Chain A
Amino acid sequence: MSAAQPEVPPLLEVNNIEVVYSDVILVLRGLSLKVPKGEIVALLGANGAGKSTTLKAISGLLKTEDGEVTRGDVTFAGERINGIDPHLIVRRGIFQVMEGRRIVSDMTALENLRLGAFTRRDREVGDDIERVYGYFPRLKERTGLAGYLSGGEQQMLAIGRALMARPKLILMDEPSMGLSPLLVQEVFGIIRKINQDLGVTILLVEQNARMALSVASYGYVMEQGKVVLDGTAAELADNEDVKEFYLGGHGAERKSFRNLKSFKRRKRWL
């Protein structure tokens, strides 16, 4: 396994971690990955492979679900961070945009954005709100409760809220979920732009492998709690297995879908 630029230490390094939920459910079985500073790295995999669990292991949110990293290390900016409370990990510069957007629906969009800046003490929060409005102009027009925003607007708000924390690393969990193809294009355009403009490093979890590989520089494919394949985005996009299972070749979509279903069922009964 080799990162894109092996000479500088990566911003994030996950080394051979094992994650257990409720003391008995083993979900990650020795997973490793590296995210170099300033890049977008994609993490692909079927339903139930453990992608969200990987992100939660990094952000510490695992704790809130009775999960635990039982082996291995998560190293961020040279320091070991596993076991640290999630709110302190946010202060270190890692911000997770959770699956399903998870905006606070009984607050306005603006309040959600201000909430994103909770850990900050500086006086530039107002400027950053304007900058987020620059990326997502339509958020500025929405003054009602965020719960009434459309799915796409909620995803934009979730990303905007993450930017408000000025993180070094954003963990993004399925930003394309439930969005129309056009909106997926738009959201990924903005993800790329944020990465280029602000230099934010992004670890991107996606089911939409085509989209993810189009913005990422490097990618990992995981299955049953382990990385089974990794390479540059171009290499992965050319890989026959990836093509068949994740990029939806001829009839492959249905085949993989059936696979995933039985896979999920098996895991449930474990």
Chain B
Amino acid sequence: MDFTLFFPLLLNGLIVGALYGVVAMSFVLIYKASQVVNFAQGEFLLVGAWVCWWLLTTYPIPFWAGFLVTMCFMTLFGIILQVVVLRPLIGEPVISVIMATVGMSIFFQALMKWMFGVFAKPFPPIFATERVQVLGLQVQPVYLLSLVVSLFIMLGFWWFFTYSKHGLAMRATAFDQQVAQSLGVSVPRVFAMSWAISAVVSSVAGVVVGVVNGVSSALSFYGIKVFPAVILGGLDSIIGAVLGGLIVGVLENLAQWVDSEFLNWGNMTQIAPFYALVLILLIKPYGLFGTKNIERV
């Protein structure tokens, strides 16, 4: 057995998995706050990364400035989508809302291709590219940075939902909208805020991936990877989303290792998470952390 590939792949799995976790978290945020299954989550990464790329390649501004402007743009982007597309659909059947997000996904993918072309474009070089030694492994600094950014975002989420009053208001809205209103919370504002935060956080992941791999429509796939992650973790659990993301990332990479060592079937990477998903759902139908809908009396 050859373990020389095992540990790099494991580390890679954790790094990618943390990014999946971040995207899954922002997906769950929208789902919890407003009960919308957002099929356009991947396009948040795509749009965010392209906007940042465009800013940095068009204007002579430092990376942090382009990044900040991108965040502001994504805040507005999330709010506008919620207000213009989703607010009118409140109270409509779930399927209509889903079709609207699917439509948004297709629209923004096409728009980005039309505006920026179909080929991957690299970010201007931002960080040193010499590899560093971590636990005996050669790692590119950007990968480490990506991990740090992911952890930072997760910490931010935890702080927001535990200590800030808007985080509490969001949890209250997810729990019971009437109760939230009776406490003085504006539910439409909470919906808009959840879309804004979700868009911003996903686009951070988009920029990070873009810096590592270049910007291309492949970023949208993160929106699809969210589904095994989120269903694994339980649709309504933010911690579950993080763990689900990590599991999917690690599984993908371990599947690749197992495949290259033993099976040689090729391309186990893409399907392994879904096998795991089916298995786990057989045992825990609501995901690892999801809540059964308990009838309240």
Contact = CB atoms under 8 A, between A and B. Distances in A.
Interface string A57-77: 001010011000000000000
B178 A90 contact: no
Nearest to B297: A100
A96 B182 contact: yes
Interface stretch (A34-42, A43-51, A104-112): A104-112
Contacts of B268: none
B181 A118 contact: no
Contact of B182 (A98, A107, A114): A98
Interface residues of A, number: 26
B172 A104 contact: yes
B184 A118 contact: yes
Contacts of A105: 175
B182 A115 contact: no
A59 B171 CA distance: 22
Contacts, number: 63
Interface string B161-196: 000010011011001111101111111000000000
B171 A107 contact: yes
A98 B184 CA distance: 13
Contacts of A165: 183-184
A116 interface: yes
Interface of B: 165, 168-169, 171-172, 175-179, 181-187
Given A114-B168, A116-B183, A165-B183, 19 more contacts: A59-B182, A61-B182, A64-B181, A65-B178, A86-B182, A87-B186, A87-B187, A95-B182, A96-B182, A98-B178, A104-B171, A104-B172, A104-B176, A104-B179, A105-B175, A107-B172, A118-B168, A118-B185, A119-B184
22 contacts: A61-B181, A61-B182, A87-B184, A87-B187, A90-B182, A90-B184, A96-B182, A98-B178, A98-B179, A102-B179, A104-B171, A104-B172, A104-B176, A106-B171, A106-B175, A107-B168, A107-B172, A107-B175, A114-B168, A115-B168, A119-B184, A165-B183
